[in-house]
């Protein structure tokens, strides 16, 4: 590989490398957002360039779209694709039922739309993202900018009756200004520490006026691929109830990784 990767980056890389094995010629593929998903996009780009793999990629953010085009993937919109065969994305947390928290990269709205418009969703991650109970990672909630303080107050009232350990809510910032999503919205991060009932939480939050979407992905993920720094990769299939482990080698050199900064 063109530069030495940290153990965590090696774990992300081998998970991404294993995931792209599930992509077949002619597929319409949802392309996730974030550091792990960036490895996946680059691995797909290698297959496109080296094997002539023909796919259409639907990116979940403007930065993923730019990277996909850079590595030679044919990029289309979800409206053009209409439905997807597979989505591959990362996660900030996942539990034993493959429920997820996503949105650390600020793209969970598009990510959820793309994932739910797919026959399958594969999550690629490292072992540190697995938790017994979701909630240690702040839960992102995308809200419209108009009246966001009122929306924040309403969410705070809702949290009083929920099974959580914390109720702090912060507006996500980008330097000195509020973070703005690709859709022009803000993100509120809910510091809950523990979410006792993720399904209930997801449903209740989306009933609050001003909330566009939350970062809980419930019953959406079909497989999780967990990478390790020594090259081991574990694939768990929630539908088949199976788990298998393989070991992958790290390539000594790859031009696609020369400028990797995610």
Q: Which CATH number fits domain 7-129+219-257: 3.40.50.970, 3.30.750.24, 3.30.70.600, 3.40.50.1360?
A: 3.40.50.1360
Grade residue 261 by pLDDT with cuts at 50, 70 and 90. Answer: very low
Please state the CATH superfamily assignment of the domain spanning residues 139-213 in this structure.
ACT domain (3.30.70.260)
Residues that constitute the known binding site: 33-36, 89-92, 102-105, 129
Rounded to a whole number of angstroms, the distance between the first and last alpha carbons of the chain is: 16
What pLDDT score does 255 carry? 55
Contact 34, 7 (CB under 8 A): no
Quick one: 59 exposed, middle or buried, by C-beta within 10 A (0-12, 13-18, 19+)? buried
Residues that constitute the known binding site for substrate: 33-36, 89-92, 102-105, 129
Per-residue pLDDT for 58 more than 50? yes
Q: Where are the domains of the chain?
A: 7-129+219-257, 139-213
Question: How confident is the model over 175-229, as pLDDT tens digits?
Answer: 999 999 999 999 999 999 999 999 999 999 999 999 999 999 999 999 999 999 9
How many other CB atoms are there within 10 angstroms of residue 257's CB atom? 19
Strand-by-strand arrangement of the 100-101 sheet: 93-94, 100-101, 216-217
- Catalytically annotated residues: 111
- DSSP letter at 165? S
pTM of the model: 0.93
């Amino acid at each position: 590989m063109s530069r030495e990767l940290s153990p965590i980056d090696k774990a992300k890389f081998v998970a991404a490398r294993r995931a792209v094995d599930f992509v077949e010629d002619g597929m319409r593929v949802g392309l996730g957002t974030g550091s792990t998903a960036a490895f996946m996009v680059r691995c797909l780009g290698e297959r496109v360039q080296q094997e002539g793999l023909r796919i259409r990629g639907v990116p979940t953010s403007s930065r993923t779209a730019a990277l996909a085009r850079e590595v030679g993937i044919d990029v289309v919109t979800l409206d053009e694709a209409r439905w997807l065969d597979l989505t591959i994305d990362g996660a900030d947390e996942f539990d034993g039922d493959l429920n997820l928290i996503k949105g650390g990269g600020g793209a969970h709205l598009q990510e959820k739309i793309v994932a739910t418009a797919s026959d399958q969703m594969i999550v690629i991650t490292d072992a540190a993202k697995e938790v017994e109970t979701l909630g240690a990672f702040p839960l992102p909630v995308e809200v419209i900018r108009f009246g966001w303080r009122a929306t924040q107050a309403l969410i705070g009232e809702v949290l009083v009756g929920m099974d959580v350990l914390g109720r702090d809510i912060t507006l996500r910032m980008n330097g000195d200004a509020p973070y703005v999503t690709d859709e022009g919205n803000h993100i509120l991060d809910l510091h809950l520490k523990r979410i006792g009932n993720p399904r209930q939480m997801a449903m209740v939050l989306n009933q609050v006026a001003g909330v566009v979407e939350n970062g809980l992905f419930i019953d959406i993920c079909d497989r999780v691929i967990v990478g390790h720094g020594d090259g081991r990769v574990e694939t768990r299939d929630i539908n088949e109830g199976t788990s298998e482990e393989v070991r992958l080698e790290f390539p000594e050199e790859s031009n696609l990784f020369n400028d990797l900064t995610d």
